[in-house]
Amino acid sequence: MLDSMSFATAKRPRAVMLVDSSRSQLKDRAEELRPQVEKYFEVVSHVDDFSADLPNSDIDLAVVLGGDGSILRAAHQMGYHQMPVLGVNLGRVGFLADVLPEHLDEVLPRVVAGDYTVISHLMFECRVECAGKDTLEYLGLNEVAVLAGPPFTILEVQLYVDSELVTTYSCDGLIVSTPVGSTAHSLSAGGPILRKDLQAFVISPISPHTLTNRPVVDSADRVYELAVPHPQEGTTLVVDGKAVRQLTSADRVRIERSPARFQLIEVQGYGYYSTLREKLGWGGRLKLDD
């Protein structure tokens, strides 16, 4: 789903700049770029702590300087009050933070002129239920994973969709990913790449102990539940790369669509397929010997 938004050209957009100050190289680079951003935007706040509250004043967008990890932390920081995000890539890969610093003087005037699109991305709510009671609730953007942990033997994970048992995976772990997360841990586990604006989840087993288990893509309108009837001592629930709880046999992990939507600013020429082509090396041709 694409939602067009434009800012009045009579005044500069009001922006908050976000950077992870715990990484000195990012902080120093962000300070170098700050005057360039302030030339086009009215920067009402410069936040360098992703655990801090964001300002309550009217803000048109957030400029996140860093890599995809920084954008992920920014999405968590905004919670249920998401605002459009322009990602400036100071990291390595940059599937979400796809604007390079050297392109700012081209991209920022186009944003001021309204020459861009805001794409809404699926977010999820993850709840852990034990004996019918919620013990944990988490808002996420990338994925939920159940990982075996020590002693690192085969783990059995049950998958339910809309309360119906789908299968029991024998594996090293199981990932339930959004389209945004499909280029992260799920991709490393052999999962497919989903276009970021699709409303779907992908379920990817990690090293499944059978050749018949393959990743599954299903609608985001369904409710997904994971259970581990015989967990190991180190069996852990991981949400967006953060270990949040060791699981017991009584726990049930529930994953469903969140009303919150992560909003990413996309400027023509810096879109989804151009990012995949550059980041995954899709630009070459197969060379055949003469």
Catalytically annotated residues: 68
Separation in Å, CA 121 to CA 61, 140, 187, 195, 237: 16, 11, 18, 10, 23
H/E stretch holding 110 reads helix 104-112
| Cα separation, 66 vs 63, whole angstroms | 10
Tell me, what DSSP letter sits at residue 182?
G
- Residue 24's φ and ψ, nearest 5 degrees, are -60, -35
| Burial status of residue 129 (CB atoms within 10 A of its CB: 0-12, 13-18, 19 or more) | middle
Total Cβ atoms within 10 A of residue 149: 19
| Burial status of residue 13 (CB atoms within 10 A of its CB: 0-12, 13-18, 19 or more) | buried
Tell me, what DSSP letter sits at residue 72?
H
Total Cβ atoms within 10 A of residue 282: 10
| Cα separation, 200 vs 257, whole angstroms | 9
Assigned token pair, 136? 């944990």
